[in-house]
Amino acid sequence: MKESQVVNELFEKWILDAKIKLDEDNFFLKINDYLESTHPEICGKCPPCRDGVVRLETLLNKYKDGVATLKTLKEIEDIVYNLRSSRCSVGLDIGKNMEVVLENNYHLLYNPVKKY
């Protein structure tokens, strides 16, 4: 299975198992691969999806580069929440899959930026 599919199916699987989470191996690579795979579907009509997905990729790259902060994580959360106001299922689905990541893999995003 391609990495992008693993994330793409997260919300669908979450309906059956609310504890479903991404395997920690290649965590950022999986998400990156997934977000990149959505590019051809993004038509650009609404900001939450058009601007949000690109911004999410930039913010997640900060983790890969070791420069993420709590502010980075907060912005990721805001963008993912914002995807709820997307105009069609493309943005909505990206948001739903990313909400599962935030819900069940949160420590992978929080631990590198926590202050204590």
Which residues are at the interface with ligand SF4 (CB under 6 A)? Answer: 41-46, 49-50, 86-88, 90-91
Residue 28 beta carbon to ligand SF4: minimum distance, rounded to whole angstroms: 23
Q: Are 60 and 77 in contact (CB under 8 A)?
A: no
Whichever of 94 and 109 has its CB closer to ligand SF4, that residue is 94
Query: Shortest Cβ distance from residue 38 to ligand SF4 (Å)?
Result: 8
Q: Output 45 or 114, the one with its CB closest to ligand SF4.
A: 45
Give min distance, CB of 94 to ligand SF4, in A: 8
- 51 φ/ψ sector (left φ>0, alpha ψ -120 to 50, else beta): alpha
Judged by beta carbon, residue 10 or residue 49, the one nearer ligand SF4 is 49
Q: How far is the CB of 84 from ligand SF4 (least distance, A)?
A: 11
- For residue 9, count CB atoms less than 10 angstroms from its CB and return exposed for 0-12, middle for 13-18, buried for 19 or more: middle
- Contacting residues for 68 by C-beta, under 8 A, at least 6 apart: 59, 62, 112, 113
